[in-house]
Amino acid sequence: MQYHYFYFEKWEKKQIEENCYHIIQTDDKENFKFRREEIWSPVFHYLSDEKSMILEGFVRFRLPDYEETLEEIVDFAVNQFIIEKEYTEFINLLKVYIDSKEPQTKLVHLIYTNGESILLDENKNVIVLDDYIFNAQYLSDISFSSNDFALNTLLTLLPKKIEVHLISREDEFIHTLKLIFSNRISICTDCNICKTYRVLNNVR
């Protein structure tokens, strides 16, 4: 990593190293078994004929497959770090934008069910999602979900308060909303709106 990813700062390398350890520790059993064979089979055969081992030389010249596996893990950890870093920068950018603007509306209800979003205003009327990004020519090949339009609409309305009504379980989208809007968001699971949409979606 020191040679291929020298441009990372010290703290970034540390985080990538921790990502590598996490990947190895949480890997599935089949991959673990495969990597174990990559190590122990050559070690066993070598020690069957030799009484001593220079570990660094053995790893370098006798375990090329495992070394390649480790390089793949590092590459994956680097990509993971970059994605997480860009995600954090994106969240921080949106938070700065929100904090610099005055709220445009008092309250928005967000109904969240089966990974889809529905927005209601403070009078519980459906808000038409802002889909102007759908018409952008340079994004014409990208598919957008109702969550993308919901976030875009919330960033346009900049509500003072957002009540999220969870009809289905909380997931990454709700987690992202909580990071972006922080103390403006409250989670509800048992009000009249929640009960109504549970009935409509046949959720118990």
At 141 the pLDDT is: 42
The answer to whether 159 touches 184, Cβ cutoff 8 Å, is: yes
Residue 84, amino acid: E
pLDDT at 164: 96
- Take residue 130 and report the two structure tokens written for it: 């802002």
Per-residue pLDDT at 60: 65
Structure tokens at 73: 């893990």
Place of tokens 């979003």: 117
3-state SS class at 41:
helix
Q: Which residues of 57-85 are buried (b: 16+ CB within 10 A; e: fewer)?
A: eebeebbeebeebbeebbeebbebbeeee
Q: For residue 38, what pLDDT is reported?
A: 64
Confidence (pLDDT) at 109: 96
Residue type, 111: I
SS3 content of the chain, % helix, strand, coil (to 5): 60, 15, 25
pLDDT at 123: 93
pTM more than 0.85: no
Question: Could you list the pLDDT tens digit for every one of the 204 residues in the chain?
Answer: 555 677 778 888 888 888 887 877 776 544 545 555 666 666 666 667 766 666 666 666 566 667 777 788 888 889 989 999 999 998 999 999 998 988 889 999 999 998 889 999 999 999 987 654 444 433 334 445 778 888 889 998 999 999 999 998 889 999 999 999 989 999 999 899 999 988 888 777
Please provide the distance, in angstroms rounded to a whole number, between the alpha carbons at the two ends of the chain.
50
Query: What's the confidence (pLDDT) of residue 72?
Result: 81
**Amino acid 143: pLDDT:** 45
pLDDT score for 110: 96
Q: What are phi and psi of 193, to 5 degrees?
A: -65, -45
